[in-house]
Structure 1
């Protein structure tokens, strides 16, 4: 019996004692990694690897190649603390949920159990949580913050101050000349719009309203300024809650991990990860949307993409659906995904170093048109996983963490929903992407729109929050691609891979640069 075979048996036995099952090809892979070490070192490495696997919280006892590679990569990391990961994909259903404590003026973790079929009380509770989040940052803004008094004399500011009122303040009065109120824009009666907060609702007169930048859809929270008389608020100006930089927002969460993942502390503050992020200037993330695998031309271009990146593998390639026509059946989609894995045949470096992240659209089968949407089931992707062991089926939306960077990925045709449902269409259509980004950033939410237009699981609404603002928000919208940065947050729309002549986006975390790329007609290079 040769040494490699003996080592494979030892690995199998060691894994069984730790409660794991490992297939022959995976034990052979691990044996090749441990073969250069002496007997004592092998024992040590086996112990450390099985401990790491237990910390990964695997769904089954079966250890796949991807889990082994992740364990080895994490062990080889130099100088990182326990719980610190270079790259992680965070499921929307595991995103922590926070509520604002008005007494202590900070966000606290809500550990209440959640489920898809939520209690009816959560229908209002998730909106109250959003209102509390937007209210606390609005009250801190210089327009609403109280004046600072020094030595008995107030320091007058050049900025006009406003006093934020509540619905109950107006309802208790007959006339208020200057009123500013934050609330949910809603249509309680057909054809009549109201502003609603936890204390009541006020009817709005929007006949002479000046709308600020953004899309004002029913279901969004707005700031209304005007005069109140006889139960109606005649709105002079309608705007959004002010945006707040992430650095200011995080102060009210402390060091706890508000982003999600296995780490107890927020990795945004990790000095070691920041150093790694700055020095790894070649690291990239690739984003494609509307990747229709039932189109032979799409498969051909994806093959070119994989071959082109085999010599310089990115951290991850994110593919967003729909992956087939809406009338495709379950079996056909499974075959298309298996064919996707076959495209990477021969791209060994790519499959070894790059995570392939699959984000479904609401048109893909097995889940309803409600956000967050569950990942594609393993039965659909078994062939793809076998060919590309580092495949990760993600939820929609999902969160990515690369070193200290926070990235949100969502596949949704959101621009069309905003345009169809807004009360006032922006006049400067040349800057429509600025209005789009401002809506998301000021609302701090991915879908600030009526639930009829985009239903949301009440118990998991926190997965759609953009508070504190992430570094990058990637929207897979089939409209024209664009990218814009506001208040330190970049909003990127990938556009349609099919409609844009096979264009895609490349993000370089070290420099925060987004490159427009496309797949050429030949396989010699990828143009950027």
Structure 2
């Protein structure tokens, strides 16, 4: 504020001078005036439809359209059509509505407030244009939090004001490792599915390790709602007006054979309909009387599976805590355990009688591109109203429809490398090693051999990342000293730091990711190696300082001014966690859990399957070491057709397919009751596998390594890095990100 050049009229009495606010006058003089007009809603409707419906997949209610027409007429004036002011304003309103957690229908209600959005927007407009660039932060390689509470991307240490600056910033990040992002389970956006709005919403309350007991009910309700809406989107459940009757449940492979549309019946609607056939969707659970029951949002009923058969036969595991589809007949009884009167509601919402299952299976899986409502293989992204959840940012790295097309362009450009005048194409590979027991000296020798092989490769063929998965010790670390004390545990990582220091080139040009197991601290201090609550935090920094120092020393030896590659780094993440590459283009889920053993122990016998179980014994390790997923499935079919007497190879492949199908069909990394595998209620959304990731690393040390593709999701199990009983062989997986295929590799040291 400048000083007043005019002196006071009465200096003797000290009359204060009132300076002229030149800055305020200049801002008022430069502001462009707009002549408001009366804009009918019908005139604005085509522009609003093109912006909200075709571009953002939203539906405008009539009152909302009236409000927008009045707002555009007042703030954009006569230039709303010729200068394109209305379309820009409507696009900003739609983005703000999405970020505020609004539903598919834009209207005043329980969700986002359209009135509040317009008031905020009006204060940042001048001359019919939005002048405040901070109103809608752009997405880039850094992270920020948008208005809806979901973390989004934004350039680090800079404010970007327009699309041109964003493009320039992204063009400078040419190396693929600039776009590798590890997302911990505790940083994943906490989303819940709103069954009324048919959309995902952000949870507003602060998460806690000691939440309200109602959050446990919400955990299973969210799982049910997501699977239920997934079923209704399936073609087999699209009810036709001409469909009559309810067909028997039949499945072929991993998808339904559609003859007629299926109809789901709530459990409560079985009352008074004894002897009729129904198809139920519910949660397998144990009733208070100790019997197997099926539970949904309306009630529960005792389940009889003595005459049922699996679809497909022996194709998946069934255990309490899983959601299943059961086709059968309801039988009403006069005296039912847990019920006062037959046909009435009893203990825990259970209805009288029993449901005799004829066929049972898990809910059919849904491909990733179907869940996102678009075909990601097409070059031109059609963002019309195709349904799906393409606008939802599930991981905080940007949604598929917002960033997918742009990220694929950056991926294509970053894979081209000019070296000595020749154009080279980089390969995107990840090396995955499971059950890396650092307290075994053979493991350190094997790691030297593996790191030496990749250190000799050309730069464009080296892996962008190494994933090392625990347990990092063979026995649980108990806080109290001894052979399993904290000092010995830190010494294991100190020895690993010495091994890594021998390969400075890998430390300078790769990202190392460490995922803990149940034997690693600090959860093992009270679980003694048993199943602890998930998600669980990373290995504490107390034990990892020497490895971080090795990376710092290696990076200090390389001049970063001459290369565009980011420095090498080591990341200690949670279990489970996600790895994102190029935003939403590549989504890799990582879970360390011996889930196959838990499934074998808690599986439910269906019909006569108890006498024909093939997975009660762990399969052979070397049976499938040399085949990829598709080749394994082909070999299994040929073996089955040829009636080969050697059952070791087919049983190994079938056990891998059975495990992958079970987990992915459930859409959850931990489909168990809380008594078998505890889950932190407020962080349960981090365990969701919906939409399906592009790849799923399921580190299970109790079964053989495998690579299997199911419904477009490539599932991999690295097994044990050094198998039991064989101290001269090492096994790991090399995953090609662009081909979305993994390969089990084996070598001797």
TM-score bracket for the superposition, by shorter chain length: 0.7 to 0.9
- Cα distance per residue 1:75-120 (max 9 Å; x no partner): 9852669xx9521100011111222233332222323321222221
Check conservation: 1:216, 1:422, Cα contact below 8 A: yes
Q: Report the CA distance shift for 1:418/1:281 in structure 2 as closer, same or farther (over 3 A).
A: farther
- Equivalent pair of 1:281/1:510 in contact (CA under 8 Å): no
Equivalent residue, structure 1, for 2:442: 297
Find 1:377's aligned residue among 530, 533, 540.
540
- Relative to its length, the structure with more strand (as a share) is 1
Provide closer, same or farther for how the CA distance between residues 263 and 223 of structure 1 changes in structure 2, counting only shifts above 3 A. Answer: closer
Are 2:502 and 1:409 aligned? no
What is the SS of the residue equivalent to 1:165? coil
- Partner of 2:432, secondary structure, is strand
TM-score by length of 2: 0.56
Q: Do the aligned residues in 1 keep the contact of 2:694 with 2:713 (CA within 8 Å)?
A: yes
- Cα separation, partners in 2 of 1:417 and 1:134, compared to 1, 3 Å: same
Please say if 1:101 is aligned against 2:237.
Answer: no
Of 290, 294, 306, the match for 2:451: 306
Between stretches 136-145 and 105-114, larger displacement belongs to: 105-114
The answer to whether the 8 Å contact 1:311/1:350 transfers is no
Say whether residues 1:446 and 2:582 are aligned partners: no
- Would the alpha carbon gap of residues 163 and 406 (structure 1) be closer, same or farther in structure 2, given more than 3 Å must change? same
**Distance change >3 Å, CA 87–CA 386, structure 1 → 2:** same
Equivalent position of 1:491 in the other structure = 715
Contact 1:277–1:510 (Cα < 8 Å) also in 2: no
- Residue deviations 1:234-290, cap 9 Å, x none? 111111111111111123323231123478976544332442577655221011111
Q: Answer whether contact 2:185 2:575 (CA < 8 A) is retained.
A: yes
Check the 8 A contact 1:86/1:273 in 2, yes or no.
Answer: no
Question: Which runs of structure 2 are paired with 1:229-244 in the superposition (5 Å)?
Answer: 229-230=331-332, 231-244=353-366
Q: Which whole-Å CA distance do the structure 2 matches of 1:480 and 1:244 have between them? A: 26
Match of 1:469 in 2: 692
Is structure 2 residue 263 aligned with structure 1 residue 163?
A: yes
How many residues are treated as equivalent by the alignment?
Answer: 447
Give the Cα–Cα distance (whole angstroms) in 1 for the partners of residues 677 and 452 of structure 2: 38
Q: Distance in 2 between matches of 1:414 and 1:435?
A: 12
Secondary structure of 2:735's match?
strand
- For residue 353 of structure 1, the aligned residue among 509, 512, 515 is 509
Instruction: Look up the match of 2:73.
Output: none
SS of residue in 2 equivalent to 1:189: coil
Quote the Cα distance in structure 1 between the aligned partners of 2:513 and 2:169.
23
Q: Check if 1:362 corresponds to 2:518.
A: yes
Q: What secondary structure is seen at the aligned counterpart in 2 of 1:136?
A: helix
Contact 1:226/1:236 (8 A) holds in 2? yes
Choose 1 or 2 for highest CA Rg. Answer: 2
Partners of 1:332 and 1:202 lie apart in 2 by 52
Aligned with residue 222 of structure 1, among 312, 316, 324: 324
Contact 1:220-1:448 within 8 A present in 2 as well:
yes
Distance in 2, matches of 1:195 and 1:91, equals 34
CA drift of 1:148 comes to: 6.4
Supply the distance in 2 between the matched residues of 1:134 and 1:278 (Cα, whole angstroms): 38
Partners of 2:597 and 2:358 in 1: CA distance = 27
The reply to whether residue 259 of structure 1 matches residue 395 of structure 2 is yes
The 8 Å contact of residues 341 and 383 in structure 1, kept in 2 or not, is answered as: yes
Aligned CA-pair RMSD = 2.9
Alignment correspondent of 1:40: none
- The secondary structure found in structure 1 opposite 2:317 is coil
Task: State the SS of the aligned residue for 1:169.
Answer: helix
Q: Which residue of 1 aligns with 2:285?
A: 186
Equivalences for residues 337-352 of structure 1 within 5 A: 337-352=493-508
* Structure 2: distance between partners of 1:134 and 1:229: 27
Residue 470 of structure 2 corresponds to: 321
**Which has the bigger relative contact order, CA under 8 A and spacing at least 6?**
1
Question: What residue is the counterpart of 2:116 in the other structure?
Answer: none
Please, which moves more after superposition, 496-505 or 395-404?
496-505
Alpha-carbon distance between aligned partners in 1 of 2:717 and 2:194, rounded to the nearest angstrom:
35
| Alpha carbons 1:281, 1:511 under 8 Å: kept | no
